Structure 1
Amino acid sequence: MALEHLPATEFDSTALNETLVPAPGSAPDGMVQLLTPEGERVGHELYGRYADDVDGEALRSFYRDMFLIRRFDTEATALQRQGELVMWVPLTGQEGAQIGSGRALAPQDYVFPTYREHGVALTRGLQLSHLLRRFRGISHGGWDPRESNFHLYTLVLAAQVPHAVGYAMGMARDNAADASSPAGATVAYFGDGASSEGDVHESMVFAASYDAPVVFFCQNNHWAISVPTEVQSRIPLANRAQGYGFPGIRVDGNDVLAVHAVTRWALEHARSGNGPVLIEAFTYRMSAHTTADDPTKYRLSADEEAWIGRDPLTRLEKHLRASGAGDDAFFAALAAEADDMAAQLRSDVQAMEPPSFADSFTDVYAEPHPLIAEELAFHKAYEDGFADAGSGNDTEEEVGA
C-alpha cells in the first residue's frame, strides 16, 4: 500500500484549464474522473500516474475511512438529536472528497478546515471524539493542532482561507531556508458558499502574488445552506483560478481515487515552488447543512435521489467487489468495527465533563495577568456570598452549575 510522492509535472495553466474545466453552462462531464459511477477504473493522461500506485489494499483503506466517517457522522447526528450535542454539521455525501484529499497529504503539510472536514481529521489521526468537544459546548477547540497539523475548526465563513495563505507564505520562507527538510504546503478547505466571500478572493490574490504553497480545496456540494451554486456563480468555480493566474481543476468529488490523484498533483505543484492551485470537488451534500437546518424547505427530493447513484461509497464498493479486492467478509468485518467505534464514541461523549466557570479565567492569557486574577477573586467572593446567605448552594461546584 506504499503511496509514493511523485515529482510535480511541468504546468501550462492555459492548456490545463481549457482541457479540464467545462465551458460556462455545459454539463459537468469534463471533470477529472478515474472511477466511474459503475465502479470501473479508467485512466487519465495527466493524473493517471498519480493513482498508479493505489492498489487494492490502498483502496480498501480508502473505503474503510469513508465507511467509518459516515458511521461517525450518523452517530454524531443521533447524539445531537438526543440532546448530547448542541449542534452537528453532517458530511454525508462528501466522504470521497475528504478522504481522497486527506490521504494525499504529507505529514509536513498543514490543514485549515471549515467545520465539516471530519473525514480529513480522520486521515490526520485525530481521535474522533475530540471533534465533538466543541459541539458539546465544553471546549473552544477540542484538540492541539500542533500534534496533527490539522487546525481548529473555523465557524466564521471563509475566515480560515486567509490564515492558510499567510501560513503558506511562512512555509515558503521555511522551505527556502532549510532545503534539508521536506517542503510543506497548506490546504484551505471551504465550500461553494464560502467561495462568494471576499476572504477567498483576497486570499487568492495574495497567494498568486507570492507564489504561496497553498491548495484551495473547494467542496462544491451544491448548496450554501439554501442558496444553490448556480445563483452564486455563472461559471464552474474552478474557472475562477484563471483570473488569478494559477491552475484550476474540476474533479468528480464522489470519485475518491480521482480526488486523491488530483490533490497529490496539486500538493506537489505547490511544494515545488510553483504557487497555488484551486481544486473544485464537484459533490453533493446528502444531508442538512447542520442539524438546525431543514433542507426539505429549499430542495427537491428528486434531486437527492438523483445523487444516490453517485454515492462515493457505493462506487468504490462496486469496484472492490468486481476486482476481487473486497469480499463479503471484508465488508462484514468493517460493519462490526463501525459498530464498536460508534459505541465507544457514545461512551466518550457521555463521559465528557464540562469545565468549571473558573477555568474561563485561565484561558484568556498565556501568562498570569493581574486584572484577570482580580476578576477571578471577585468571582470567587461573589460565589461565597451566595453560600453565606444560606441559599442552599453549599459548594462551589453547585454554585457554578
Structure 2
Amino acid sequence: MDVATFERLQGDDGRSLIETIRTSAHTDDLALGTALRRAGHSPELVAAAMSQVALRRRAERKLGPDAARMWFTPEALEQATRATVARHRAERLVGCAPGVVIDLGCGIGADLVAFGRAGADVRGIEQDPLRAAMARANIEALGLRATVEEGDATRVVPDPDDTTYVDPARRTARGRTFDPGDFSPPWDFVTGLLTGRGVVKTMPGIAHGAVPDGVEAEWVSDGGDLVEACLWGRPYAGARRRATLLDGDRVATLTEADAVEPVVGEPQDWWYEPDDAVIRAGLVTAVASIVGGCLVDEHIAYVSAPQHVVTPYATAYRVLDELPYREKALRAALRARDVGTLTVKKRGVGVDPTALVKRLGLRGTTTATVVLTRVDGQGRAFLVERTTST
C-alpha cells in the first residue's frame, strides 16, 4: 500500500469499506473481495481494506482494544511493542523526568502512544512515508498529542534534556537478523545514544558482552513470555542486569544485587524452573536464595529446594520420583505408571524431547512430566508434578 491509497482508506469510502469487511458474514476472503470489486470498489482499495481488517484482528493480542482504531503494515505490526511492555517502559521513563521523548524510527507509533499516555511530551521520527502517515493517524485516532516527522533518525540532534528512544529494525533483505551489525539504525549509532539519555529496545537474546559499560540491560517477560531486552542509558541505569516480570497489573523485578554465590547440591523435594527473563539476566541464584535452595549443576538453570515457596520468578514442581535416565529403562518405568501423555523438559542434555516421546511409544491413560537434566555432570531423570499455587 502507498500513501495515496492509505489516504483514500482514511476517507469516508475507505472507512465504510473497512466496516463492511469487518462485519461481513463471508468466510471466504477471495469471494468477499470479488463481491466488493463487482460492487464498484477499486481493487487497490479493496485489497488495502481487507489487509487492515486482518491486521487489526491480529493486533488485538498485542495491542488490546486500541488495535480496532489503529493502522498497520505487516512488518510494522510485527515490530510493534506489546502494549503492556510499552506501558511499563513508558511509566518507568516518565518517572525519570525524561524531557521530550524522541522516538527515532517510530514506525506506526505504538511506543509513541505509550509514552504519550504516560504523560511524556513525544516526538516521532520515521523515514518511511507510509509508516509516518500511519503514526500520525494512530496518534489522532487515540486522542493523543505528538508530532511525527519524516526524516533520517541518525541525523536528529536532540536537546541536552531530551531522551532518545530507538527500536532498531532487525530485518534485512534476507529476513530476520540476530546480528547487531545488521541492525538499522547501525549498532554503533544505537550504542552511542546510551552514553547519554538514551533508551533502546532490542532482542532478548542480546549477549551480556554487547551491553556497553554503565548501561542497564533489562530483560522483560510478559505473562511468562520473554519478549525483549531494554537498554537504559547511563543516566537511567539503576542496575547492571535486571529481570522484570509483567503479569497483568503486577510487576516483579530482580537485579544482580539479589544474586548470591552459586551453591550446588543434590536435587531435593521441589524443583524450580526460573522465568526466562531471570535466566537471560543471569539471576538464577537469586531464585535459589528466595526459595532457600541450590543449583543442581553450576551451569544449569534449575533450582532445587526442600520446601515449596511461592514466587513469581519461577515455576515450581514437586518431585514425585527419580526415574532411570537410559531410554529403555525409562520407557519401562513410564509404562508401569500407565503414562500415555508425556511432557519432557530438559536442560543441559542432548535430548530432543519430541523425538524421545515418539520413540517411547507410550499408550497409557495418565499424563506425566519428566525433567531430564545434568546433575554433577551426569544425566538424570525426574518425574515431577507442576504446582498450581500462585
After TM superposition, the score normalised by the length of structure 2 is 0.25
Higher relative strand content: 2
Task: Please tell me whether Structure 1 or Structure 2 has the larger radius of gyration of its CA atoms.
Answer: 2
Relative contact order (alpha carbons < 8 A, sep ≥ 6): 1 or 2 greater? Answer: 1
Higher relative helix content: 1
